[in-house]
Amino acid sequence: MKTLLASFLALVTVAWAVTSSSNPAEGASLPWVVRQEALYLTGLWAFSLMSLAIMLATRPAWLERPLGGMDRIYRVHKWAGILAIGFAALHWLVEMSDGVIKSVVGREGRLPKEHEGGFLEVMRDVGEDFGEWAIYALIAMLVLTLWKRLPYRPWRYLHHAMPGLYGMLAIHAAFLAPLDYWTSAIGALLALFIAVGTVSGLRSLSGRIGRGRQVSGDIEAVREQASGLTEVVCRLEDRWRGHRPGQFAFVTFDHIEGAHPFTIACADRGDRHITFQIKALGDYTQGLAARLAAGQPVKIEGPYGRFDYRRGRRKSDQVWIAGGIGVTPFLAWLESLQEAPAEAPVADFYYCTRQRDDDPFVARLESLCAALPTIRLHVVSTDRDRPLTAEALHARHAGERQPEIWFCGPRAFAQSLRSGLRDLGMKRVRFHQEAFEMR
């Protein structure tokens, strides 16, 4: 993700630098030139990243292969949006710096503003106002997004305002960009960003995101596996194209609530039945079992994701680690191998739970792994065992052929293992992790 965003910003920066070097300011003093070019560059960074973020929000399935799955697409979307708002705030601060420069060096050497008159001049004024209002709204949106205590439903409706805010920024960028930009490389990029972002925003406003991958169906069964854990079995229409083990889907049980991503916790048997194991982790999933019943309609969008052990290196040993409800993709993996146990990789599977005796998944995992002799199941129950640590993994799996780790569980747990293994010298370990977060 860091490499992608850095490369994207580098492309914009190079295009800006080429354009700026070919159109040097004449008769302007250095402080005013620096301010002007900083204003243009921060604006370009902010707008290009916002364009990228709104395009990725349309869930482009064709990018799953190069970016590693929809979960990573959404992670890039999230950080592109955060960086865009940060650069927008910096852009506003640079704009406000003219008073400081006046007090230090005076007005002498200031670059003259472009005045074309007529419609263009009117739209410049409109674009300037739009940009300022949009920046205030975006900063407020960022604060609400990072404030995790805000329930998902109101945040979702607020987030629907983003295409409108983007439209305001597009007008700001189009009419306040220097006229000579439009005959240069940066102008071509800017036009591309405006076109892609505008089309993406219109798709969002019209409700067309993911429509081609949506399938209707009915809830066939709802079971409360344990306190706060609900199993939902759905039967889908003929249009369902099936799924690969480890994939997820956006599920809509309630049109007002909207879609939520859940991992598909079963193998594809070709009968259009899919199962979700849903843990009560937020305001929506609390009490979900009481709100669902057999026969209710459901809409599924997907499948998405590339969390698949078969993408790993063939000769590497595998370590699978599941934390709590993160076991769901592994359930699908194990189920898919039951009919072809010879295809199972050699893997150590660590399932981490708080209380083994009360966990409904333990017996299921033991049954599935019993038919797969190359999968060694280790149930780590923190009420009786020491928690799984990087030190324990290092002691068991360090060697010339370092393992490939597939992890699904709490983010803090993953970070602890990753950093710990790195500190212990296992820097060449490939650590695959589901990274899906809606906000």
Task: Taking residues 310-331, report their average pLDDT.
Answer: 89
Specify the pLDDT at position 22.
Answer: 72
Whether residue 400 contacts residue 313, with contact meaning beta carbons closer than 8 Å, is answered with no
Helix axes 152-159 and 118-146, enclosed angle (nearest 10): 170
Residue finishing a domain among 157, 180, 205: 205
Q: Is the pTM of this model over 0.75?
A: yes
**How far is residue 359's CA from residue 355's CA, in Å, rounded to a whole number?**
6
User: How many other C-beta atoms are found inside a 10 Å radius of the C-beta of residue 126?
Assistant: 14
**How far is residue 324's CA from residue 412's CA, in Å, rounded to a whole number?**
13
Specify the pLDDT at position 114.
Answer: 60
Residues 365 and 417 reside in one and the same domain:
yes
- Please check whether residue 439 lies inside any domain of the structure: no
Residues 272 and 313 reside in one and the same domain:
no
Residues 157 and 55 reside in one and the same domain:
yes
Residues 344 and 277 reside in one and the same domain:
no
Residues 295 and 341 reside in one and the same domain:
no
Residue finishing a domain among 268, 284, 304: 304
In the block, residue with structure tokens 């999968």: 375
Q: How far is CA 382 from the centre of its chain?
A: 31
Residues 25 and 111 reside in one and the same domain:
yes
Residues 270 and 351 reside in one and the same domain:
no
Q: Tokens in use for 7?
A: 């490369």
What percentage of the chain reaches a pLDDT higher than 70?
94
- Please check whether residue 338 lies inside any domain of the structure: yes
Q: Please report, for the domain that includes residue 298, its CATH number.
A: 2.40.30.10
Which of 317, 322, 370 has its CA nearest to residue 350? Answer: 322
Residue finishing a domain among 205, 231, 261: 205
Specify the pLDDT at position 428.
Answer: 80
Model confidence over 380-398: pLDDT tens digits? 999 898 999 999 999 998 8
Is 56 exposed, middle or buried, given 0-12, 13-18 or 19+ CB atoms closer than 10 A? buried
Model confidence over 202-251: pLDDT tens digits? 999 998 999 999 999 999 999 988 888 999 999 999 999 999 999 999 99
More confident residue, 149 or 237: 237
State the pLDDT confidence band at 82, using cuts at 50, 70 and 90: very high
Residue 150 has pLDDT above 70, yes or no: yes
**How far is residue 75's CA from residue 185's CA, in Å, rounded to a whole number?**
29
- Please check whether residue 290 lies inside any domain of the structure: yes
Specify the pLDDT at position 439.
Answer: 61
Residues 170 and 252 reside in one and the same domain:
no
Residues 323 and 277 reside in one and the same domain:
no
State the pLDDT confidence band at 289, using cuts at 50, 70 and 90: confident
- Please check whether residue 438 lies inside any domain of the structure: no
Residues 28 and 149 reside in one and the same domain:
yes
Residue 23 has pLDDT above 80, yes or no: no
Residues 23 and 161 reside in one and the same domain:
yes
Residues 191 and 92 reside in one and the same domain:
yes
Query: How many structural domains comprise the chain?
Result: 3
Whether residue 247 contacts residue 261, with contact meaning beta carbons closer than 8 Å, is answered with no
Specify the pLDDT at position 426.
Answer: 85
Helical ranges in 96-117 per DSSP H: 98-105
Q: By residue range, what is the domain housing residue 277?
A: 211-304
Whether residue 281 contacts residue 325, with contact meaning beta carbons closer than 8 Å, is answered with yes
